[in-house]
Amino acid sequence: MPIRNIAVGRPEEAYNPDALKAALAEFFSTLIFVFAGEGSGMAFNKLTDNGSTTPAGLVAAALAHAFGLFVAVAIAANISGGHVNPAVTFGAFVGGNISLLRGLLYWVAQLLGSTVACLLLKLATNGQTTSAFALSSGVGVWNAFVFEIVMTFGLVYTVYATAVDPKRGNVGTIAPIAIGFIVGANILAGGAFDGASMNPAVSFGPALVSWSWQNHWVYWAGPLIGGGIAGLVYEFFFISHSGHEPLAGSEYA
């Protein structure tokens, strides 16, 4: 059972050099991802006079986030596992693949990375707003909540299948591409409804810098629930009954 593998971790993990290096990798990867994703939206708004809600804007956002996440996961994969997302870290935790203390280090790094990215964007664009995630007209808060759960479930399930599963074999080499693709596809599916965050860090940075917190809880609760369910489902049905061994320290541990 995955629950048996859940661990709080040792206090020394808070200052262990490998854990700190992994957290630093998460910081830079999240910064790069948010700068590219949020920046592409700001650039499209400037070019089209705030036309980011058009079909072309949605496609541009999907491509920017897919490419950005592909790179962000790839450059951190050998150091931290390339989570780049508190929901992925939470999914790894409930599946017993990362300790609570190490996971909290990742969370802090991811949130800081997103915030610094948005501050840099604001500085570089001479004060242009980093737009917080918001619900589209006619979309209820519970509709968005379900969207975030389902989309993040798909994302974290993909992470488990391509990067965490010890039987992944050669599929592991395309994990960053698969993870980027599912995020891009989900943005095309849900972007017009609630922005398709799937990532509390991606939502947190713009909300903090613009100080806009309306319905912000949706972008935490939905992804964490979806990611947690995906971690439990994959561990219970596809890993736990097949002689799963704990992952090495460089991979989600």
pLDDT of residue 170: 84
HSE-CB for 104 with a 13 A CA cutoff:
10
pLDDT of residue 118: 96
Structure tokens at 219: 């972008």
pLDDT of residue 28: 98
Structure tokens at 155: 């994302």
Question: Closest Cα partner for 124 from 194, 46, 191, 199?
Answer: 46
* Strand, helix or coil for residue 60: helix
Residue 211 has a CB neighbour count (10 Å cut-off) of 7
pLDDT of residue 81: 94
Q: What is the pLDDT along the chain (253 residues), one digit of tens a residue?
A: 556 677 776 777 777 899 999 999 999 999 999 999 999 888 887 777 665 567 888 898 999 999 999 999 999 999 999 999 999 999 999 999 999 999 999 999 999 999 999 999 999 999 888 888 999 888 999 999 999 999 999 999 999 999 999 888 888 889 999 999 999 999 999 988 999 999 999 999 999 999 999 999 999 999 999 999 999 999 999 986 544 344 444 444 3
- List of domains in the chain: 2-239 (1.20.1080.10)
Please give the model's pTM, rounded to 2 decimal places: 0.90
